[in-house]
A and B are shown apart, each in its own frame.
Chain A
Amino acid sequence: MLQQLEELKLKAFQELEGINDVKELESWRVRYLGRKSHLTNILRRLAALPLGERKAVGAYANEVKVYLEDSLKQRGEALREAQLAASAEKEHIDITLPGRHLPIGRLHPITQTLHEICDIFSSMGFQVVEGPEVEWDYYNFEALNIPKEHPARDTMSTSWVDFQTENGVPMLLRTHTTSVSARIIESMPPPIRVVEPGKVYRYEASDATHVPMFHQIDGLVVDRGITMADLKGTLYEFSRRFFGEDRKARFRCDYFPFVEPGVEMAIECLVCGGKGCRLCGNTGWIEILGAGMTHSQVLQRGGIDPDIYTSFAFGMGIERLPMLRYGIDDVRLFYGSDLRFLRQF
């Protein structure tokens, strides 16, 4: 019996080694380990053997069974590995072919910049508000200490709307978003902390640095105890977050009829880093915005008592910022709707 088992084991193993197809493994299993196999037969007939022989044959038969089962498992795994390797070889794809694209859209670079700026000021507690683009002369000029025949009007060439009102009030396209501040001072009770983004218009011919329509953002804070130090802190924080930690900023005296004292904020030139170059006109500084302490007459005209409340205001052009950041040399590109330009942002 033991002799038979030994031969069985050898034969089965040799056959197993010869198998190269996973499907043949099953018929091998049926043949050597199935219910009708010789081995099962031997095990089934153990009881008929004399006791001494039964023990020895039984032990050995079980050993052969375990051995064949393990061998089957190993062979199976080896074959599956080989098959995967073979199919990987056969089903190889060209991973350098381009992917399947869904159409991609982007926000306009000016919109992106405005979102970025509004986010920075929002995080400092500023609320975003908007006002009309077609405006009365009053909110654009008179309310801001720019009466008729004021020289400051000459620096903001105005597009006038051909429209007759019953009381003859002139209508115009706002020349700055500061007109929204004039409205806010009149309509919102303090404390006020707002930014006012939007389109503005100038009566100007287009060239690489001028367009008749562009974007600005104004800011206004009215509260008790607002100081110029707060203005500086707020704008320096904006500069730090927009232009980066190391970009130096400075205030210098400037004039806007609706603030006093008035300042201009400049940052260190992005090209030369302050050494002086063409972009900064050899000064090392680039003007970014105008600001100041809101003029007491402006507050008073809007119904806010300047003895109780102080206020600061600032305003900046938007186009300049992406132009500096990306090195864009022609402002008209923003309004040309050319996909070859817009897709770059």
Chain B
Amino acid sequence: MKIPLKWLQEYVALTLSSSDLANKLTMAGIEVKGVQVIGGEWENIVVGQIIAIKPHPNADRLSLPTIDLGTEQQTVVCGAPNLRFGDKVAFAPVGAQLIDGHTGQAFRLKSARIRGVMSSGMACSEKELGISDSHERIIVLPAEAPVGTPLADYLGDVIFDLDITPNRPDCLCVIGIAREIAALTGRSLSLPEVSYKEAASPIDQQISVEIAAPDLCPRYGASLITGVKIGESPRWLQQRLLACGMRPISNIVDITNYVMLEYGQPLHAFDYDKIKGKKIIVRRAAEGEAVVTLDGVERVLSADMLVIADTAGSVAIAGVMGGADSEVTRGTTSILLEAASFNPASIHYTGRRLQLPSEACMRFERGIRPELTLPALKRTTQLIVQLAGGEAAKGVVDVYPGKREQEPILLSTGKVKTLLGVEFSLDQIVGALTSLGFDCKQGDSASEVWVTTPYWRSDIHLTVDLIEEIVRVIGYDKIPATMLSQSLPRQNPEPVLGLKQQAGRILTGCGFQEVITYSLTSLEMLNKLLPEPHPLEPMPLRMANPMTAEREYLRPSLRANLLAAFSANRRHEDSGIRLFELGKVYLPRHNDLPDEPEALCGILGGSRLEKSWQGKEELLDFYDAKGVVEGLLNQLGVEANFEEDRDESLCLGKQAAIVVDGKKLGVVGELHPKVLEAFEVSEPVYLFEINLTALLPFTIGHKMFQPIPRFPAIVRDMALVIDTEISHQRVLDIIKSFPLVNQVTLFDVYAGDQVPRGKKSLAYRITFQSPTHTLTDKEVNKVQQQILNKLSSELGAILRG
């Protein structure tokens, strides 16, 4: 909200510099977002009066006005069409800084000969002064502008751009801000004097008001002004509206807007002659009732919206927008003026449903106190009588079914200290509250006070609300900073958080870069993971109001985003890429919030080591991915089996389920070529995925220490020739089933000319060790023979010659 300081000054003396004032307001919760200085650059520009106009000897469209500046007179060359004898203008002498009317750039005025005549200054347009974009005509100042006065003193201003929090509708106006400044700077507030002459005929005989929905309209006030003349509003009023960011329209509309900016109460003017039955009815709309609003659009209403109606139908949507049928037009002579209070939630609902945000709507939905209606109604009536002529009917209509007494709130110094942690005296407390217009009465004890809230404050209900007011005025810097002194609450750390951190550390240690991607994705993206298209089962959760098609569904896995990240990075990375993400995935559940397990997904492809001057380049493969998973699980103390799997996004036969204690907790494998193609990746890429939430229980087990072997080990190498399809795991399981076998390492796998077709060679290094004695060759030979026998009988393995 924009507020000009000159306007503020009518109600409170401003004793601080504008920057100090801005700071003071900001600290007290009225944030000054911006400060605009109008006329800051108007050095040397003064108010002048045109005392003579001569034609230019060499140019028809130019003239030579002589301008009186009080102490001297200057004749300039001017091309504006609106030069008039006696007008007050803004005169810029040579050297003044102005805005170029065509380029919009600042420049310094030089003396110049224009078509043969010297011009030593100029009469400025609004654009040249930086006030508006109007450049054709020169600015004409009000007749009372004092000749010779610096223009900055007369027309300059400082405009505060304020951010008013939703709890303070009382600050959405100049008087509200003036009231805050008065309290914060210890000055008094002076309100406009409101009085006007009334005609003899009482208003009740000319209009009646009925509130049929008192729950949505606690108060409705109206006044009647007859014999008005619709026209432009005076320049000073237009200028204030402009400074506040509103466009002048006509005197009546401008005056209602002016009072809304001044008092914070939105007002509406009806053409009295168009009100049928001379009766106003405030009621809920009929379901499907239609009304054409001021903007010419027909609006269809629902039964939970409030309308202002006459005996024939609705004439306005209450608090949101007036109706076209009752609009004030050029020919209007009688004004029925409305100042009412409406239910904030109802206005908020209606305004949003009809998508009709407005200054009035914004004020109503934050809560206008019913007590404000009459002062604002009378002020508006006064200004209409003053500025648009006409005569006010005797009295006002005031229907007030929602009248409620303000209950006083009990406040004690002890309560203030309990909440703030610092003691303020009762005098300080009463002083702060009184300055804001609260009424304080001594309570039962010397440390207590009964506080009554002033009518304009809709946000004060509880003791804590008063305490905020006190500290706002006294200052937050008066609160000390203390450390928590209570004993530490019992800690129950969530184990999954520790697991996430640990997994992140391990993976970064393995060379993986963490990424964070959006949780929302698209069906198109998810479908790229399917080599053969089919409907997703289950369907991921969809947003009711997706911002874009790319962010419509909650991701059921991290895969798609990681693949997209891989693909995007490949455009500028030529070495190996290793990425991982740790985050929630969202799995729909019946009639409940989705399950949100913590997922871990890693992706890798490209060269194993960065391109180097030494060594040859090798590509990452399945066993790199599996090695990372094995290393991770090993560090987490989890033993897993890898079993053949059928994940459709991965290559058949090049993928393994990660199985712990019989449960599948993840998968590792090479991505399906069609999936890679869909993500525009043209190289093999490997992926692993683990459900951390499901893994968690297996990471918590109790570990026992294994003693370091005291007796020496005997190491034997054994190369086996075996059918190609027999897995390493089956061989390993047999070898490990024998006593004294301490460790088995596969150190060579070979298939080729040296072994028969359909066969492969596996070479193992077996470490034999006993915890009780030093082994002899004889003992080891015996076990080794037994192992070989079993491998041969069960798997058909023979020792390679």
Contact = CB atoms under 8 A, between A and B. Distances in A.
A111 B520 CA distance: 19
Contacts of B421: 227-230
B555 to A, nearest CB: 11
A228 B165 CA distance: 21
B514 A103 contact: no
A229 B479 contact: yes
B317 to A, nearest CB: 16
Interface in A96-114: 97-98, 100-108, 110-111
Nearest to B476: A251
Nearest to A164: B591
Contacts, number: 263
Interface string A134-171: 11100000000001111110010001111101100001
B507 A171 contact: no
Contacts of A342: 513-515
Given A253-B468, A293-B419, A338-B568, A134 B594 contact: yes
Nearest to B420: A228
Contacts of A110: 516
A58 interface: no
Given A255-B168, A262-B468, A337 B515 contact: yes
B515 A229 contact: no
Nearest to A234: B484
B593 A261 contact: no
Interface stretch (B369-377, B424-432, B488-496, B758-766): B488-496
A88 B57 CA distance: 100
A218 B297 CA distance: 45
B540 to A, nearest CB: 11
A255 B468 CA distance: 10
B166 A159 contact: no
B587 to A, nearest CB: 10
Nearest to B508: A105
Given A105-B509, A191-B489, A227 B420 contact: yes
A134 B593 contact: yes
Interface string A16-35: 00000000000000000000
A184 to B, nearest CB: 11
A281 B33 contact: yes
B481 A229 contact: yes
Nearest to B507: A105
Given A161-B544, A227-B421, A253 B27 contact: yes
A334 B516 contact: yes
A134 B348 contact: no
B418 interface: yes
A252 interface: yes
B596 interface: yes
B481 A232 contact: yes
Contact of A254 (B165, B465, B492, B501): B165
A167 to B, nearest CB: 9
A160 B545 contact: yes
Contacts of A192: 489
A318 to B, nearest CB: 11
Q: Which of B510, B515, B520 has the most CB of A within 10 A?
A: B515
B516 A161 contact: no
Nearest to B489: A191
Given A227-B419, A227-B421, A111 B514 contact: yes
What band does the interface of chain B fall in when counting residues whose beta carbon is under 8 Å from A? Answer: 35 or more
B26 interface: yes
Interface in A313-341: 334-340
A176 interface: no
Contact of A103 (B167, B520, B578): B578
A118 to B, nearest CB: 9
B476 A250 contact: yes
A127 B492 contact: yes
A11 interface: no
Given A128-B497, A337-B569, A203 B471 contact: no
A163 B553 CA distance: 12
Contacts of B547: 159, 203-205, 212
Contacts of B591: 165-166
B392 interface: no
A263 B489 CA distance: 25
B596 A134 contact: yes
Given A162-B541, A193-B489, A254-B29, A233 B593 contact: no
A310 B467 CA distance: 14
A260 B610 contact: no
A302 B16 CA distance: 45
B17 to A, nearest CB: 14
B530 interface: no
A335 B488 contact: no
Interface in B477-530: 477, 479-489, 491-494, 496-497, 501, 504, 507-520
B74 to A, nearest CB: 38
Contact of A151 (B366, B418, B609): B366
B620 to A, nearest CB: 10
B345 A148 contact: yes
A101 B610 contact: yes
Nearest to B467: A261
A128 B497 CA distance: 8
Contacts of A232: 479-482
Nearest to A224: B486
A225 B543 CA distance: 43
Interface in A230-244: 230, 232-234, 236-237
Nearest to A336: B568
Contacts of A74: none
Contact of A310 (B418, B492, B504): B418
A40 interface: no
A281 B344 CA distance: 33
Contacts of A224: 486
B705 interface: no
A173 B512 CA distance: 29
B195 interface: no
A146 B29 CA distance: 20
Contacts of A203: 545, 547
Contacts of A186: none
A71 interface: no
Contacts of A310: 418-419
B609 A103 contact: yes
Q: Which of B346, B484, B513, B609 has the most CB of A within 10 A?
A: B484
A125 interface: yes
Contact of A212 (B418, B484, B518): B518
B482 A229 contact: yes
A98 B484 contact: no
A223 B482 contact: no
A341 B487 CA distance: 43
B518 A263 contact: no
A229 B478 CA distance: 10
A213 interface: yes
A73 interface: no
A227 B482 contact: yes
Contacts of B588: 163
Nearest to A155: B166
B482 A127 contact: no
B565 interface: yes
Interface of A: 97-98, 100-108, 110-111, 115, 124-125, 127-130, 132-136, 147-152, 155, 159-163, 165-166, 171, 173, 190-193, 199, 201, 203-205, 212-213, 221, 223-230, 232-234, 236-237, 250-255, 257, 260-263, 281, 283, 293, 295-296, 310, 334-340, 342-343
16 contacts: A101-B609, A102-B511, A103-B578, A149-B349, A160-B545, A165-B592, A191-B489, A201-B519, A203-B545, A228-B419, A228-B421, A230-B484, A233-B480, A296-B462, A310-B418, A337-B568
Given A261-B464, A281-B34, A283-B23, 7 more contacts: A127-B493, A130-B496, A149-B344, A212-B518, A232-B482, A336-B568, A337-B516
List of 10 A-B pairs having minimum Cβ-Cβ separation, nearest first: A103-B511, A227-B421, A229-B421, A253-B29, A261-B468, A255-B165, A337-B565, A149-B345, A151-B166, A105-B508
